[in-house]
Chain A
Amino acid sequence: MYRYDEFDHDFVQARVAEFTDQVERRLSGDITEDQFRPLRLMNGVYLQLHAYMLRIAVPYGTLNSKQMRMLGHIARKYDKGYGHFTTRQNIQFNWPALSDIPAILADLASVEMHAIQTSGNCIRNVTADHFAGAAADEVADPRPYAEILRQWSSVHPEFSFLPRKFKIAVTGAERDRAAIQTHDIGLHLKKNAAGELGFAVYVGGGQGRTPMVARKIRDFLPEADLLSYCTAILRVYNLYGRRDNKYKARIKILVHETGVEEITRQIEAEWQELKDAELKLPEADIEAINAYFAPPTLANRPEGDDLLKQARLDSKNFSQWLDQNVVTHRHPDYAAVTISLKGIGEVPGDATDSQMEAVADIAEKYAFDELRVSHEQNLILPHVARADLKAVYDALVEIGLATANSNLISDIISCPGLDYCALATARSIPIAQEISQRFASLERQREIGELKLKISGCINACGHHHVGHIGILGVEKKGSELYQVTLGGSADENTSVGEIIGRGFSSEEITDAIEQIVDTYLGLRLNPSERFIDAYRRVGPAPFKEALYAGETKAA
């Protein structure tokens, strides 16, 4: 995986020194909160309900065991023994003292990590398919391009004060696991008829209070033009994006208000000025970055098939975990493993210090030292020999991380909500926990099949509720928490925004309502292979509305 070069190393060290000085000056009163606030945000430090929060970048979700151990160390030494993995493939700590943050950043820098650009109106952490480099269906590893974008966008002088934050995601497969159409720029790495690599380019996706699916503005952009084209997009956005209203400042609003044809014309015109100049990517540079992401040498391990056959017979739990949390690898003797951070009744995305360390040990021993954070708030071991899967499973059982629920109803994305977040209007974690407990039976979850349930505690939609097959949005109404349900959203290659099904539900009612929706689906699906989202797209909202609200209409 990517290693810092000298430039990266010096840059991060210089930033730690700079921010350390800024924190000291703030604590001594030499600079005011108004002066300090933008500086701390540029370094990932927020103020939440109970304390400061530090958001640490995990570029394209890729970590090695040393880095994961350091996160465990930070959780233990400076925080309260746990961290929260986020939908942007990052990690947040909920309780750091401002006075400790310089020391935390110094510790992070020692393992080539930082918190730069995890907040503020700049280009944020570039995200990628969490199975990148391992997936059997991938055209090429998207991470080298995410890394090129990271280098280009880090403290980019022109793009450090955009109208609003800006998020880029890259996938290297037709099956989109990076939710690229919900991003400001979504890049789909693909090959053209001549076998050359390039990108389909999507612009203007986003969630928040105005959810929009990104529009494809180019079907094939040659890889060498990646930076010039992205610069053209950012330049048009920076010039014309609205700065008069924070809620209309994202590029999705600009695309919507300008119209996709006109904005494409503007971007293409800007690009004509840039495309043959210094931003053209030299082949040697692409190769050099690619070399950093050279896959591990995967020796043939054909003994896995027989071992797994026997282990399946020995343990039903292991067999279910194999079915649910293990996916096909490009090498037939290997697999990619999802480590669920969604234990029944647990906090989605949370991991303790000792779990982080144990996962690091597993990655080091069985997974070529590689880990990923997925935008669905799980951890991934991208390369595990099938022959080692039982050993990995046993090690995960020991630390309580072997829940076999990947892509099932209890694999819930949830934002921190009102339990932690200063912006939240309702709690989201307790709702996730209650739904997870209601559907605790794995047999029942597997009977239901793939179902993406996502919960946000406010309209900013950090919990991706708009693109949940079932989405839940918590709001405050007359002093109480109220939960609105949307159905039919999805965040894959067929991205759609869910529709509000009707009046909201109280915290006491919401789990029953979700159960009613699920039971309605089970009653109307054509067969068990018709997923919830497919059934919803076939029948629409009517049967679900009927199930949820018919009694009320009759009573009225």
Chain B
Amino acid sequence: MKVLTANRLSDGIAVWYADGGWAETVGHADLAHDKAAEDRLEAIGAAAYANNEVVDVNLIDVEMVDGLVEPVRLREKIRAAGPTIRTDLGKQASPEAIGA
């Protein structure tokens, strides 16, 4: 299971593709369950990169935890939450946004 992630060009903030746009949290990102869906997400990422919306576009492995999308790798978990040593910063600083 994969989702599409990138960093927004204008401010570099980590974003995930969800519901036709780029969300600032991973929880409700669009899931790709098969190769065809991955290809579709990749095409969306390539188009958004070409259109100068985002940079550093990647498909990442995820799992569902309590109804929310969660990255598998630690690196992506930290990207999705913020620095583990500064829980007052990054996405984790506003938990309501993550659950939203």
On whether the beta carbons of B7 and A51 are closer than 8 Å, the reply is: yes
Which chain A residue shows the least CB distance to B72? A479
Query: What 1/0 flags go to A313-355 for Cβ under 8 Å of B?
Result: 0000000000000000000000000000000000100000000
On whether the beta carbons of A80 and B78 are closer than 8 Å, the reply is: no
The answer, among B11, B73, B84, for a CB contact under 8 Å with A419, is B84
Q: Which residues of A contact B90 (CB under 8 A)?
A: 50
Min distance, Cβ A310 to any Cβ of chain B, angstroms: 41
Min distance, Cβ B89 to any Cβ of chain A, angstroms: 6
Which residues of B (63-86) have their CB < 8 Å from a CB of A?
72-75, 78-79, 82-86
Query: What 1/0 flags go to A36-51 for Cβ under 8 Å of B?
Result: 0000000000011111
Which chain A residue shows the least CB distance to B11? A97
Q: Which residues of A contact B86 (CB under 8 A)?
A: 347, 419
On whether the beta carbons of A27 and B9 are closer than 8 Å, the reply is: yes
Which residues of A (73-104) have their CB < 8 Å from a CB of B?
80, 95-99
Q: A29-B51, A418-B74 are in contact. Are A50 and B79 (CB under 8 A)?
A: yes
Which residues of B (45-73) have their CB < 8 Å from a CB of A?
49, 51-52, 55-56, 72-73
On whether the beta carbons of B78 and A419 are closer than 8 Å, the reply is: yes
Q: Which residues of B contact A47 (CB under 8 A)?
A: 7, 12, 55-56
On whether the beta carbons of B52 and A97 are closer than 8 Å, the reply is: no
Is A430 located at the chain interface by the 8 A CB criterion? yes
On whether the beta carbons of A418 and B11 are closer than 8 Å, the reply is: no
Is B4 located at the chain interface by the 8 A CB criterion? no
Q: Which residues of B contact A424 (CB under 8 A)?
A: 75
The answer, among B12, B49, B82, for a CB contact under 8 Å with A98, is B12
Q: Which residues of A contact B78 (CB under 8 A)?
A: 49, 418-419, 427
Q: A50-B83, A418-B74, A430-B84 are in contact. Are A27 and B10 (CB under 8 A)?
A: yes
On whether the beta carbons of B10 and A97 are closer than 8 Å, the reply is: yes
Is A26 located at the chain interface by the 8 A CB criterion? yes
Tally chain B residues at the interface, Cβ within 8 Å: 25
Which residues of A (440-488) have their CB < 8 Å from a CB of B?
476, 479-481
The answer, among B12, B72, B74, B85, for a CB contact under 8 Å with A481, is B74
On whether the beta carbons of A49 and B9 are closer than 8 Å, the reply is: no
On whether the beta carbons of A479 and B74 are closer than 8 Å, the reply is: yes
On whether the beta carbons of A49 and B14 are closer than 8 Å, the reply is: yes
Please give me the 3 A-B residue pairs with the lowest Cβ-Cβ distance, nearest first. Answer: A97-B11, A52-B12, A419-B83
Question: Which B residues lie at the A interface, using CB under 8 A?
Answer: 7, 9-14, 49, 51-52, 55-56, 72-75, 78-79, 82-86, 89-90
Min distance, Cβ A415 to any Cβ of chain B, angstroms: 13
A212 to B79, CA, bound (A): 33
Is A293 located at the chain interface by the 8 A CB criterion? no
On whether the beta carbons of B55 and A33 are closer than 8 Å, the reply is: yes
The answer, among A33, A98, A476, for a CB contact under 8 Å with B10, is A98
A120 to B17, CA, bound (A): 31
A481 to B72, CA, bound (A): 14
On whether the beta carbons of A347 and B73 are closer than 8 Å, the reply is: no
Q: Which residues of B contact A420 (CB under 8 A)?
A: 83
On whether the beta carbons of A80 and B84 are closer than 8 Å, the reply is: no
Is A228 located at the chain interface by the 8 A CB criterion? no
Is A429 located at the chain interface by the 8 A CB criterion? yes
Is A410 located at the chain interface by the 8 A CB criterion? no
Q: Which residues of A contact B11 (CB under 8 A)?
A: 51-52, 97-99
A51 to B82, CA, bound (A): 10
On whether the beta carbons of A99 and B82 are closer than 8 Å, the reply is: no
Is A433 located at the chain interface by the 8 A CB criterion? yes
Chain A CB within 10 Å, residue with most, of B49, B55, B79, B85: B85
